[in-house]
Amino acid sequence: AEVNFSGYGRFGIGYVEDRTGDVDTVAVVTDADVTAETAEGVDTDDTILVSRFRLNIDGIVETDGGVRFEGRVRLQADEDAGNGEANSAGLNGARFSVIYGGLRVDAGNVAGAFDNGINYYGTEVGLELFAGQYSGVDYSFLGYSSTGSGANAVYVNYSVGDFSFGASYDQRTFAETAADGSDTVDADRWDIGAAYTFNNFSAEIIYGQTKSVGDLDKQSLTVLALGAEFGDFSGTLFVADDDVAAESRNGTAYGLSAAYNLGTATTLQFVYGDGSADDDLRQIAVGAIYDLGGGASLRGGIGTNKRGDGESVTQADFGAQFNF
C-alpha cells in the first residue's frame, strides 16, 4: 500500500487573436462599496501568461492474489484563458480502478473508449495542446474531467496479446421540469472500441452513442484511427462520423497528425483536422518540442482555428513543461 504523487508544471506565453473574456469592472477597484461586478465578452490581451500545475494523487494497494486497486484524485490549477488571470487550484472527482492481468475496470470519474483511444488524439500541438486531428468531432463523449467532478461511470478494458477492447457506460438522469419531484428522463451514454497493433502499425475503431433526451434525437460517433511508427517518424490518420444535435455539425470528420524526431532533442509536429459539415472546426498547426533532459522541455506551436465560414483565428504559444 502506498500513496504516489506525479504530475507536471507548464508555463509560458499564449497568443489568441482577438481574445475575449470576463473581467471585473473598474468600479470593483475605485468604489469601496462594489465587491463583485463583472463584464462578459470583453476584449482582453491577446497575449497572456498561460500555465498549468497538475498533481495526480494515487492511492495504490495490491492484494495477496495480485489484484491491484487504485484510487486517483487530481489537483490542478490553470490560468483563465479568457482574462489572463490565474485561477486557484481545484480538485476533481475520484477515479477507482481494479487491475488484474490484462483486465482493468475503472469506476467514478472515468475516461470512456474514445478518451482511452490509442490513436484518437494522435499528436497534439503546442504547450497547451491547442490543436488536434479530432477538431471536426462535435459529439460529447465520456471523458475524464481534470477540473470537475466528471461522470460517475464505469469503463472496462481488456488486453490480450496485440488486441485490446474497451467499453464504458454512463448512467445519467435528468428532470423533465424544475418542479420538486419532477418526472425524469434517462440520457445514458455508452461506447465500445477495439484496437489492434501489428508490426509498426496500430488500428482502432470506436463507437459510442447517447440516448435521445427530450426533443433531442439519439446522438452517436464512430471513429476509425490508424497509427504508424517508422524510426524517427510517427503519424496518425483519423476518420469519424458524428450524428449530433446541431445539423450543421453532423457528418464526416477527418484529420491527420505527424511527429518527426530531428536529431536527439528536437521533435517537429504537424496537425490537421476538419469536417465535412458546414459548421465544423478546422485546425491546422505546427509545433516543436525541445528536450532539456530530466523531464523538462521547451514547447511551442502556431496554427489557425476556423469554424465553418467564420473568421480564421490564429493561435500560438511557447513555454516550458516539466514532468515530476
Site for its own copies, residues 159 to 218, rule: CB under 8 A = 171, 173-182, 184-185, 187, 213-216
Of 235, 242, 225, 241, the residue nearest 261 (C-alpha): 235
Residue 75 contacts its own copies per CB under 8 A: yes
Residue 99 contacts its own copies per CB under 8 A: no
What is the spatial distance between Cα 252 and Cα 243, in angstroms, rounded to a whole number? 9
Residue 149 contacts its own copies per CB under 8 A: yes
Applying CB under 8 A, which part among 147-155, 160-168, 220-228, 267-275 lies near its own copies?
147-155
SS3 239: strand
Nearer to its own copies, 75 or 286 (CB): 75
Residues that bind its own copies (rule: CB under 8 A) add up to a total of 102
Residues 215-254: x/- map of binding to its own copies (CB under 8 A)?
Answer: xx----------------------------x---------
Residues 4-23: x/- map of binding to its own copies (CB under 8 A)?
Answer: -xxxxx-x--------x--x
What is the spatial distance between Cα 16 and Cα 45, in angstroms, rounded to a whole number? 9
Residue 101 contacts its own copies per CB under 8 A: no
Q: Does residue 39 contact residue 23 with C-beta atoms inside 8 Å?
A: yes
Q: Name beta bridge partners: 288.
A: 268, 300
SS3 27: helix
Cell reading at 252:
464526416
Cell reading at 25:
469592472
Applying CB under 8 A, which part among 25-33, 220-228, 235-243, 304-312 lies near its own copies?
25-33
Tell me, what amino acid is at 180? D
What is the spatial distance between Cα 91 and Cα 29, in angstroms, rounded to a whole number? 30
94, 205, 224, 239: which one binds its own copies (CB under 8 A): 94
Nearer to its own copies, 139 or 270 (CB): 139
Residues 275 to 314: which contact its own copies by CB under 8 A? 292-296
Q: With residue 28 as reference, give the H or E element that holds it.
A: helix 27-30
Residue 59 contacts its own copies per CB under 8 A: yes
Report the b/e string of 285-300 with b at 16+ CB within 10 A.
bbbbbebeeeebbbbb
Q: How far is the CB of 24 from its own copies (least distance, A)?
A: 6
What is the spatial distance between Cα 255 and Cα 236, in angstroms, rounded to a whole number? 8
Q: What are residue 247's phi and psi, to 5 degrees? A: -50, -40
Nearer to its own copies, 41 or 308 (CB): 41
Residue 24 contacts its own copies per CB under 8 A: yes
Residues 35 to 54: which contact its own copies by CB under 8 A? 37-45, 48-49, 51-53
15, 46, 81, 96: which one binds its own copies (CB under 8 A): 96
Q: How far is the CB of 11 from its own copies (least distance, A)?
A: 4
33, 35, 64, 263: which one binds its own copies (CB under 8 A): 64
What is the spatial distance between Cα 218 and Cα 32, in angstroms, rounded to a whole number? 52
What is the spatial distance between Cα 244 and Cα 254, in angstroms, rounded to a whole number? 16
